[in-house]
Chain A
C-alpha cells in the first residue's frame, strides 16, 4: 500500500502539482446473507479506492479509481489534472495544513466465519421461534476490514486500520391474510460475544412488528405529542444535520440556523454530539475526507447551537469555523424518565417507530407516514396504527422536547434515546 501511494505522490510531483491530497483505501469484506431464514449467499469483496484531488491555480479536480497499477495511477493523475485545469478557479479550494503523523487502529482485522455462521444460524432459528409470524426478508451480516493511508502535499500523513462487524435485517409479519409494513434495523459491533438478538433494537422491533398485525387506520386529525423511538430519532438526526448544518445548507444560505451559532435552537434538555472517535463507536472514523484528524464534536449543548458541520471548503466559503468531524455517530444525552413513564404522561399522541418520508424542506417542514407506530391516549398505548401521517417542523420538534428517555439504544454507530416532543400534526385516514 505504501509503495502504491508513494508512486502516486511521485507522479503528482513529476507533473508539477504543488497542492494535492490522495488516499488509498484497501477493503476486504466478508458477508453472509439470509433470504427469509435460509442462508443464501456468502460474498467476499476485495476492493481499493484511490482518491486523488489536485488544486492548481486555484482550480480543483478529484478522481476516484480502483485500479492501482502504475499505468492506472498515471492515468488517474492526468485525469485529475484535466478536471482541475478545466474547472473554474476558486480561492477557497484548499487542502488540510500540516498535522502530526497519526496511526489509528480499531477493531478485528479478520472475520471469524464459523462464529458468524453460528450467530446468524441462531438468529435464523430464534426469530421464528420467538416471533412466529415474522417473515425475515433480507438479513446481511458482514465483517469489513479497511486499511487507509492519507497523504497531502502539506506533509499530512494518516494511517487508519479498522475492522467492524455489521448486521442489518429487514422483516415484516404475516398471518393468514394479515400483513404488516416492513421494518428494519441494524448495528455495528467489534466482537461476536453476544447473540444478535441481544444487540441494538431488533428484539423490540420484531415484537412490535407482530403486534402490527392488529394495526388499524387511525381516524382523526389533531396536533399532539409524539415519542420518537431511537431508530427513528437516528434518521431524524441525519436529516437535521443535512438540512441545517452542512456545507450545502450554509453555502446555499438556505439553513434557518445560518445566524444562530451560539444561540438557542433547541430545548434545554437536548445535547447532541457526533462522536466518531469515541471508544463506544464500533463504526467510527478517524480522518475527515478533507484531511483532518477527526475529533468528537458537540453540536447542540443544552439547546444551544455549538457547531455547524462545515468542511474546510464550507468554512472558507461561509466564514464559520470548520467542524472537527463530518457528522454521524450521533450521541444524544439521556434524560431521567423511562419510556414507560413518558408514555404514561402523554394525553394524546403517537409512538413513532419509523419515519417514511423524504428530506424536510430547507426550513425544516416535513410530512411523513408514521410507520410501525402506535396511538397513545390518556397515558396508554391504545393500538398500532396504519395510514397515519405526521407533519411538523424539524426545528420545532427539537425545540419542543418534553422529555428524553433514560434508556438508550447502542447501535455501535450512535447511542440514541427515545425523545418525547409536541406540536406535531397527526392525521389519520
Chain B
C-alpha cells in the first residue's frame, strides 16, 4: 500500500523537493516444456525524496513508509554535501504544477491466483496437445502494476496506476540437427482481466506462430548485403526507439550523440515523422501513458522528426534549461528508489499513405522483416537487430521464410532511404528499455520500405 497523502510532509522541506511513494507489483508464471519453472510474485514499495540545491541533486529512499522525514533529511544532506563542494550556484527550475489522478486498473472483478494459473496452464496444454512435434515450448505470463503518488514542492501532484500484462509464447522444432525458434507476444497496457478474457483468444496467435515456425524450418539463409526491405511495424518501432530515439535523449546529445549534427536539418526522408507520444494518439490511450513525469512536469508529445527534419530532443528539467526549451515530461523512474532519467514513452513513426501489399509488390528481390529478437543501438545511430521472423520477397511476392539473421546500419541513413510508409499502424508494449534502470516503454509504427544491411556468414 502506497502513501496517498504526501502533502502533510511538505512543512519539512526547505529546498525544491520531489516526494514519491511507489509500489511495483509483479507476477511471473512460466511453463517450460510443461514444467512450471517460474511462479513468483514480487512487491517492491517505498518512499523516496529528491532535493535540489543550487544545481546539485540529493536523493534518498527507504522501504519503510513511515520514514518520510528521515528520507527528506538524507536527500537534503546529500544535496548539501555536493553543493558545498561544487558550488554551481544555479537557480531553481521554472515551476510547473499539474495535478492529476489516472488509474488504469481493471474495473472487472480481480481473478484469483488459481484462475490465472489455470488459464496459463490451459494455454500450455493447448500447445502441447495440438503441436506434439515441437522440441520445446515456453509460455510466460508477465504482469506489472506500477502504482505511485508523486508531489513536488512546486505543487505538482500525481496519483497513477499503470499496469501491463503480457503473454510470451516461444516454440521450437528440431530440423536437420538445428533448433528453429519463433516467439510472439500478446497483451500490453492493462491488467490481466482486461487483456485476457479466455485462453481461446490466444489460440489464433499460437496457430499463426506455428505456421511461421514450420515455414521457418524450411527457410533459407538471407543473402548478405544492402537489400530493399520492408520493415514490419514491430521492427520499425524498435528502429524508432533504439536507433533514433536514444540519440535524441538530451543527456546523450550532451554526451556527443550524432543527433547534434542533424538538428533542424534533413535527418530522414520527408515521408518520416517520428514522435514520442506522452499518452494518446488519435484519441486512443497508448501502451505506456504518461501524463505527469517523475519530476512533476506535465507530459506532452515530442515531435522528434517532422517530415524528415530533426526538430526536437527529449529532456528533463536540467537539460531543457541547458537547451533553453520547456521540458515535456520525459523524466521517468522505474522503482521507488530510482531517480528520474530522460526516457522515451511511446515512440513511433507516423503512418503514411501506401498499402503494405503495394510496398511488397514494389520489390523485385528483397526481404520482408517481421519480428526482432533483440536490438542494440549506438549514439552514432548505428544499430544491430536480430531478426527471428522474415520472408524473402521475389518479384513482388512473399516467398520462402528466412532463418535467423542480423540487420545493421546507421539509422538516420536507413530513414533517409525510406521510400514508402504504410497507412496502418500498430503498437507494442512488451519490452523494457535499459538505461541505468529498466523501464517499460511503448513503441509502434507503420511498415517502412527502405534499404537495410543484411548480415550473413
Q: Which residues of A contact B121 (CB under 8 A)?
A: 88
A371 to B261: give the CA distance in the assembly, Å: 21
Q: Which residues of A contact B112 (CB under 8 A)?
A: 86
Name the residue on A nearest B80 (C-beta).
Answer: A42
Which of the residues A252, A253, A356 comes within 8 Å of B384, measured between beta carbons?
Answer: A356
27 A-B pairs whose Cβ atoms sit less than 8 Å apart in the complex: A38-B88, A39-B82, A42-B79, A43-B58, A43-B339, A45-B61, A46-B61, A48-B63, A62-B41, A63-B42, A67-B45, A80-B41, A82-B113, A86-B112, A87-B117, A113-B81, A137-B256, A138-B251, A140-B436, A180-B380, A181-B378, A181-B380, A182-B378, A361-B179, A389-B455, A391-B406, A391-B456
Q: Which residues of A contact B404 (CB under 8 A)?
A: 361, 365
Q: Does A331 contact B (CB under 8 A)?
A: no
Interface pair A367/B455, CB less than 8 Å apart: yes
Interface pair A88/B256, CB less than 8 Å apart: no
Q: Does A238 contact B (CB under 8 A)?
A: no
What is the minimal beta-carbon distance from A64 to any residue of chain B, in angstroms?
Answer: 4
Interface pair B181/A38, CB less than 8 Å apart: no
Contacts A254-B136, A358-B374: A38 and B86 contacting too (C-beta < 8 A)?
yes
A359 to B406: give the CA distance in the assembly, Å: 11
Interface pair B256/A174, CB less than 8 Å apart: yes
A46 to B66: give the CA distance in the assembly, Å: 13
The interface stretch among B5-13, B30-38, B304-312, B415-423 is: B30-38
Contacts A62-B39, A138-B436: A42 and B179 contacting too (C-beta < 8 A)?
no
A252 to B36: give the CA distance in the assembly, Å: 12
A62 to B41: give the CA distance in the assembly, Å: 6
| Complex interface bits, A55-94 against B, C-beta within 8 A gives 1, otherwise 0 | 0000011111111100000001001101111111010000
Q: Does B405 contact A (CB under 8 A)?
A: yes
Q: Does B155 contact A (CB under 8 A)?
A: no
Q: Does A337 contact B (CB under 8 A)?
A: no
Which of the residues A40, A61, A113 comes within 8 Å of B39, measured between beta carbons?
Answer: A61
Contacts A247-B37, A362-B179: A42 and B82 contacting too (C-beta < 8 A)?
yes
What is the minimal beta-carbon distance from B42 to any residue of chain A, in angstroms?
Answer: 4
Name the residue on A nearest B375 (C-beta).
Answer: A358
A233 to B278: give the CA distance in the assembly, Å: 40
Interface pair B382/A387, CB less than 8 Å apart: yes
Q: Does B56 contact A (CB under 8 A)?
A: yes
Residues in B57-92 with C-beta less than 8 Å from chain A: 57-64, 74-75, 78-79, 81-82, 85-86, 88
Q: Which residues of B contact A369 (CB under 8 A)?
A: 376, 382-384, 408
Q: Which residues of A contact B436 (CB under 8 A)?
A: 138, 140
A62 to B113: give the CA distance in the assembly, Å: 13
What is the minimal beta-carbon distance from A188 to any residue of chain B, in angstroms?
Answer: 17
A47 to B258: give the CA distance in the assembly, Å: 38
Name the residue on B nearest A49 (C-beta).
Answer: B44
Which of the residues B33, B61, B380 comes within 8 Å of A386, measured between beta carbons?
Answer: B380
A395 to B307: give the CA distance in the assembly, Å: 46
Name the residue on B nearest A371 (C-beta).
Answer: B378
What is the minimal beta-carbon distance from B2 to any residue of chain A, in angstroms?
Answer: 11
Known: A36-B254, A47-B46, A427-B456. 5 other contacts (CB 8 A): A39-B56, A43-B60, A90-B36, A140-B436, A365-B404
